[in-house]
Amino acid sequence: YSFPRFDEESGIVQVDEKVTLHGLPIVPRRRVAYGRVNPAEATQLFIREGLVEERLHAHLPFFRNNHKLKQRLVSADAKVRRNREFAFAAAAEAFYTERLRNIASIHDLNHLLKQKHAEGVQDFLFMQEADLLERVAEQQPEADVFPDYLTIGTTRLQLHYAFAPGEERDGATLRVHDLVVPHLRAPLLDWLVPGQWEERIQSLLRTLPKAQRKQFVPIPDTAKRLADLLEPNEDDFLNALSRLVHKELGVQISPQDWDCERVPAYLKPRLELRDNRNRVVSQGREIEQLLQERQTALKEFAKTQAQDRQLVVLQEAEAEWNLDQISGWNFGKLPKRIELDALAGIPIYAFPGLLKNENGVHRRLFATQEEAQEQTAPALRELLAFAVGPDLAWLEKDLADLRNLRDALAPFGTVAECKSDVREAVHAFLFDGPWIKSEPEFEARANAAAIKLRKLSPRVIEVMEALLSDHATTRQALHKLALSRGKDGVAELEQHLRTLMPKRFARHIPYVRWADLHRYLRALRIRAERMALDPLKDADKRSQLEPWPDVLRQLQHTSLAHAELQRLDEFRWMLEELRVSVFAPEVRTAFPSSTKRMERFAKQHFEQHLLALETA
């Protein structure tokens, strides 16, 4: 049995029944009365969805009376800016639950009412005010779910609540001054009022199309369950909710599926931005847009205000930290982050790092950690290369010999370009690693690189020669296949070859992967040979890769975070190993690879992006 629900047309609580015999479906799906299967749960569904939610189509005196009573109490609440409609619904559910047993349809209800009438009980299901009000205790909102302040560092930002339906100020408003604006992120403010999560989720669920919405009935119960499980994080509310729905209920809802326009305004956080004179400069519920506009305005203002405290602090720090034309590690420690000062309790951070330009290597302060890491990597390679010193002469000699491979290198760039790309690739292989904070760590990295280099240097030119030869052989194999099958027949294989070794491949493919390219090229040649003999079998094998080549291409055109880009690189090589296992298993893979492993990896690292791609 599955999908119990109240059917408005028949007035019966129904459930889908599936009949099997020895595991084989005899009746795949038919609707039956749920009261015969689970009387207690069917009664509860009839009460909640039929009576409390007033979806029952019946002209019964008690039903009309109870509707008018609830409307009268809700209207009275509105006069004192109070809304207890959900509490009244819970009280009504309790009222009916005390009086009804094994009632799962309009027919059951009519039969019971006739019995009570025969017994002389005329007002059996008629509610009085006391029936609702006694069950709706006056409760003060809990401070942890309806906070008065948002605390950032040592700064408290005040939250104001207003019960003003139809007015702009309705709901919760956060007042923010200019000093705090640069440190706020829109997703953080999406979580302002935990006490509203349940109602907000319920409203969002009701905005879904019917085909999706029916998976969440009863919606109030589902909303409460999700709200209880939801935990604030760095992501925004809708993304977090989509992940939770998929994790707990197994239903995939893209963040774009939620229709926020239909969610009541008072359930959306409202922002009121004030300048340093406490004047309101902007306000509204488009939080990300408001913050971006104000942050941009403040940045422009800071550029023209030399006395701005934050700018002064940064300038003072730069005067202390900036160091030009470094030739070795002679500047102490290089922390990942330093605290410069604090404004209104909010710390001001800067991120030390190294910068390489035409004038050498320099120590600098950067605005973000990502920028510091991006600029430091090539600068650090330069310093380590200088530290390794004469040993690199072997590498430079090998690189000079690349001119002898001019013709073979032609598809990949000029000799000068290839020389530069190979140098950078080898330097990255030798020198890249975790962040270096001190001179001992720098010396240890330089010593390790020197050992690597002594094993590596004589082989760089040999590796390049072998790769170029392998590439040429593979091109010939594809050309031979094209003669028999036509150019269209080998278009996919030619594209795969261009992906494996694109123009300036040494710049795009890490040196550590170059050895693997031989296996991938050999596997491609074997595939070409077998395709010539049996193209249908090749097509069948190609289907075993689906949908991962398309997923990879789509992810490569998606905006990803730095950590996600690293995972995407792993994903790309997993796909290459999968191709080897499918088309040329005799070549052997570097590690186990299968579609199941691809699926697990993709869900673990790109689940939210995959959801977005499915609904695009």
* Residue located via tokens 């040494």: 506
pTM: 0.49
- Please count the helices (runs of H) and the strands (runs of E) in the chain: 25, 12
Contacts 24+ apart (CB under 8 A), 558-567: 558/609, 558/613, 560/609, 562/370, 562/373, 564/605, 564/606, 564/609, 567/601, 567/605, 567/606
Q: Report the pLDDT value the prediction gives residue 611, as an integer from 0 to 100.
A: 74
Extract the residue ranges of the chain whose pLDDT is less than 70.
75-82, 135-143, 153-154, 302-311, 342-346, 457-458, 612-616
Pairing of the two strands 323-326 and 338-343: unpaired
Residues 6+ apart with CB under 8 A from 318: 364, 365
Helix or strand holding residue 339 (H, E): strand 338-343
Question: Three-class SS of residue 530?
Answer: helix
Question: Three-class SS of residue 258?
Answer: coil
Give the span between the Cα atoms of 33 and 5, in whole angstroms.
10
Neighbour order of strands in the sheet with 12-21 = 2-7, 12-21, 24-33
Q: Report the pLDDT value the prediction gives residue 266, as an integer from 0 to 100.
A: 86
Q: Could you report the per-residue pLDDT of 104-141, keeping only the tens digit for each? A: 999 999 999 999 999 988 888 999 988 888 766 554 44
Residues 6+ apart with CB under 8 A from 445: 384, 431, 433, 436
Q: Report the pLDDT value the prediction gives residue 142, as an integer from 0 to 100.
A: 57
CB 426 within 8 A of CB 395: yes
* Residue located via tokens 């699926």: 599
**Which token pair is 348?**
């001001």
Q: Report the pLDDT value the prediction gives residue 572, as an integer from 0 to 100.
A: 94
Give the span between the Cα atoms of 365 and 456, in whole angstroms.
35
Residues 42-69 as b or e (16 or more Cβ within 10 Å = b)? bbbbbbbbbbbbeebeeeeebbeebeeb
Using CA atoms, how far residue 607 sits from 234, 246, 253, 465, in Å, is 16, 10, 11, 41
Question: Three-class SS of residue 361?
Answer: strand
Burial class for 540, CB neighbours closer than 10 Å (0-12, 13-18, 19+):
exposed
Give the span between the Cα atoms of 597 and 616, in whole angstroms.
25
Residues 99-138 as b or e (16 or more Cβ within 10 Å = b)? ebeebbbbebbeebbeeeeeeeeeeebebeeebbeeeeee
Distance between alpha carbon 375 and the CA centroid of its chain, in Å? 27
Using CA atoms, how far residue 203 sits from 56, 86, 158, 352, 493, in Å, is 21, 13, 26, 46, 50
Neighbour order of strands in the sheet with 155-162 = 149-152, 155-162, 171-177, 270-274, 280-284
* Residue located via tokens 């009541």: 264
Residues 6+ apart with CB under 8 A from 97: 44, 47
Give the span between the Cα atoms of 494 and 477, in whole angstroms.
10
Q: Could you report the per-residue pLDDT of 185-204, keeping only the tens digit for each? A: 888 888 888 888 888 999 99
Q: Report the pLDDT value the prediction gives residue 345, as an integer from 0 to 100.
A: 56
Alpha helices in 350-413 (DSSP H): 369-388, 392-400, 406-409
Pairing of the two strands 346-357 and 338-343: antiparallel
Average pLDDT, the chain: 86
Give the span between the Cα atoms of 170 and 519, in whole angstroms.
65
CB 584 within 8 A of CB 526: yes
CB 332 within 8 A of CB 358: no
Q: Where are the domains of the chain?
A: 2-131, 149-295, 296-367, 374-528, 534-615
DSSP secondary structure code for residue 307 in this structure: T
CA atoms within 13 A on the CB side of 228: 7
Sign of torsion over alpha carbons 509, 510, 513, 515: positive
Using CA atoms, how far residue 248 sits from 1, 99, 216, 219, in Å, is 20, 34, 12, 15
Q: How many CB atoms lie within 10 A of CB 281?
A: 15
